[in-house]
Structure 1
């Protein structure tokens, strides 16, 4: 097999992965952060209360500091951290789940960054958070990766999103946004993509997208 043919195959595979995600994601409009709306209705809420979904959530507002090169995950001073607004967002997020009666599988999964761990802890309790370093791989999708590396990360993400939570509960992942055209695409602060996993080897489906405003706002409160 020639190098040219191998490179073409890898690039083609990457494009297929991107298209699968894009076809799954149901956009509310042109895709701007301000249009990232909740598609909630009583039927969906009842389904969420029965469990079986994954909530992929971007961390809360993090505008304090910046991510430095070769930082240590335990050194928050070398990372971008939650603002006071972000901490309030995280608390509101957790309260919204409890108010709506949506059951959560514990522990909640979080990327190893300080901002993701703090978001998850403020929302669901620090003792209920499990760090998974794979979500750092998702963070790296926003950097200049080779097509092979990007495809590897997206393949692993597919596998994660196929795994169903424990019966009667929903899995929460607190991690990062994606670049445009990759994975779930840009996600606003505390924005959430609701995924229905169909089991290993059976794929997954994006069923709704939520902004924090819509999951916590009175105008969308569903009893």
Structure 2
């Protein structure tokens, strides 16, 4: 299998860099995650619609686009998949959006920590470069002794990797280095 590499300066200088993953659902991503050699990025589970209503407020789910019943079931399936692949517990970080927090909680892999660097910038793309840089810097400081799972949004994953993920899709990346993001694998649920 060929790993896909993308230079950091490319990520930050283009609105969306495109790369095609060479794999879909192989064991490489799971093995790397278990060994501390990968980070799992997950786009939140099924939430009908696009973006959020004009009255959107963090912390008030009634103002947001939320998971459907199918999305809740998909979140539980995500957690079951992690456990089936040997990941019983992980460090879970989530966007502060309710659909991401609920996805992360329903996975049942451990306490969910809010991380603003994972928040959507769909309605304000100009925040994308700085927020992506903040996320990369945060990732480079993380201890990989326990699997790390990040639940976020399409725009965040696309900006970081060039991949346009489906709702509930997992994208495995190697821990970022100074100048590149390496996509190891992808898995859909």
| TM-score, length-scaled by structure 2 | 0.78
Which position in structure 1 is the counterpart of 2:118? Answer: 135
User: How far is the alpha carbon of 1:90 from its aligned partner?
Assistant: 0.2
**Partner in structure 1 of residue 21 of structure 2:** 27
- Structure number with the higher helix fraction is 1
Alignment RMSD (CA, Å): 3.1
Partner in structure 1 of residue 134 of structure 2: 156
Residue number among 24, 28, 33 corresponding to 1:48 in the alignment: 33
Deviating runs (4+, > 6 A) in structure 1?
none
SS of 2:183's equivalent in the other structure is strand
Instruction: Give unmatched runs, 5+ long, in structure 2.
Output: 1-7
Greater shift, 169-178 or 46-55, is seen at 46-55
Contact kept in structure 2, 1:94 and 1:122, CA below 8 Å: yes
- Cα shift at 1:65: 9.7
8 Å CA contact 2:61–2:98 kept in 1: the answer is: yes
Q: Distance in 2 between matches of 1:186 and 1:172?
A: 18
Change in Cα spacing, 1:45 to 1:69, as seen in structure 2 (3 Å) is closer
Which runs of no fewer than 5 residues in structure 1 stay unpaired? 1-12, 29-35, 213-223
The 5-angstrom pairing of residues 61-72 of structure 1 reads 61-63=46-48, 67-72=52-57
Aligned length: 180
Q: Which structure: greater strand fraction?
A: 2
| Equivalent-residue separation in structure 2 for 1:170 and 1:197 (angstroms) | 11
Aligned counterpart, 1:119 = 103
SS of match in other structure, 2:65 = coil
Who wins on radius of gyration, i.e. which is larger? 1
CA contact (8 A) 1:197 1:203 kept: no
Deviations 1:29-65 (A, max 9, x none): xxxxxxx832x13x55433332332101000001279
**What SS class does the counterpart of residue 208 from structure 1 fall into?**
strand
Against the structure 1 CA distance between its residues 65 and 51, is the aligned structure 2 distance closer, same or farther, given a 3 Å change threshold? closer
Q: What do the CA deviations read for 1:143-178 (whole angstroms, capped 9, x no partner)?
A: 3534xx4322232232234344332x2100001002
Equivalent-residue separation in structure 2 for 1:170 and 1:209 (angstroms)? 16
How does the TM-score come out when normalised to structure 1? 0.67
Give matches, 1:1-223, under 5 Å. Answer: 17=12, 22=17, 25-28=19-22, 37-38=24-25, 40-41=26-27, 44-63=29-48, 67-102=52-87, 104-106=89-91, 108-124=92-108, 128-136=111-119, 139-140=120-121, 142-146=122-126, 149-167=127-145, 169-178=146-155, 182-184=159-161, 185-198=163-176, 201=178, 203-212=180-189
Structure with the larger RCO, 1 or 2 (CA within 8 Å, 6+ apart): 2
